[in-house]
């Protein structure tokens, strides 16, 4: 068994344990699992209404960035640095779009899968980047805005540092596992 098959088997087992384990743990603790789920969903609805204006604003801003070519320009600016760090040129659009928009980065990942194939190293890197990074600016704009926080302080730098660490780890681990 090679390391790629082993990691796939382990991830499948962990996923199954999470999906089945959480409700089983609730039943074991004598928690009414479905009622708790429904109650949580009821409490979440007003939050959705509160964050909707910030969400619409962020979606418009992302659309403007993509249409203006700013994301591609950032890719050109950072291409040398990314190359020194071992990040393939093909990952640049995803690495730049991910902190801004989940839907834009999903579209980029789908395009990468169509271009290089679902089992390609680039598709695996892209999918791992999606799982190990966050839509930092989106989260800050929507959630901080919804609760009225005006000064984000260290949230943006901390989020971007975490995104860079996730990007580099994803690329290096995928090269180690799949190259």
Q: Which of 40-49, 58-67, 120-129 has the lowest mean pLDDT?
A: 58-67
- Work out the angle at residue 34's Cα, subtended by the Cα atoms of residues 33 and 37, and round it to the nearest 5 degrees: 90
On the question of pLDDT at 36 being above 70, the answer is yes
Residue 161 falls inside a structural domain: yes
User: Most distant CA pair in the chain: distance in Å?
Assistant: 56
Residue 4 falls inside a structural domain: no
Domain that holds residue 154: 50-178
Model confidence at 5, pLDDT cuts 50, 70, 90, reads confident
Say how far apart CA 62 and CA 104 lie, in whole Å.
8
pLDDT digits (tens, 9 = 90+) for 74-116: 778 888 888 899 999 889 888 888 998 888 888 889 889 999 9
Residue 113 falls inside a structural domain: yes
On the question of pLDDT at 160 being above 90, the answer is yes
> Into how many domains does the chain fold?
1
pLDDT digits (tens, 9 = 90+) for 17-34: 999 998 999 999 999 989
Residue 41 falls inside a structural domain: no
What does each C-alpha distance from 172 to 5, 159, 162 come to in angstroms? 18, 20, 15
Residue 45 falls inside a structural domain: no
């Amino acid at each position: 068994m090679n390391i790629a098959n082993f990691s796939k088997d382990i991830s499948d087992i962990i996923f199954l344990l999470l999906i089945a384990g959480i409700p089983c743990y609730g039943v074991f603790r004598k928690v009414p699992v479905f009622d708790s789920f429904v109650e949580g969903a009821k409490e979440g609805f007003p939050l959705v209404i509160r964050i909707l204006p910030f969400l619409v604003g962020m979606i418009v801003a992302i659309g403007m960035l993509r249409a203006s070519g700013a994301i591609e320009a950032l890719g050109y600016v950072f291409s040398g640095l990314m190359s020194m760090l071992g990040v393939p040129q093909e990952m640049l659009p995803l690495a730049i779009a991910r902190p801004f928009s989940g839907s834009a980065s999903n579209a980029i990942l789908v395009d990468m899968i169509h271009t290089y194939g679902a089992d390609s190293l680039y598709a695996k890197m892209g999918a791992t980047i999606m799982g190990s990074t966050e839509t930092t600016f989106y989260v800050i704009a929507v959630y901080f805005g919804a609760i009225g926080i005006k000064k984000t302080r260290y949230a943006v730098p901390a989020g971007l540092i975490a995104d860079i660490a996730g990007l580099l780890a994803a690329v290096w681990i995928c090269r180690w596992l799949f190259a």
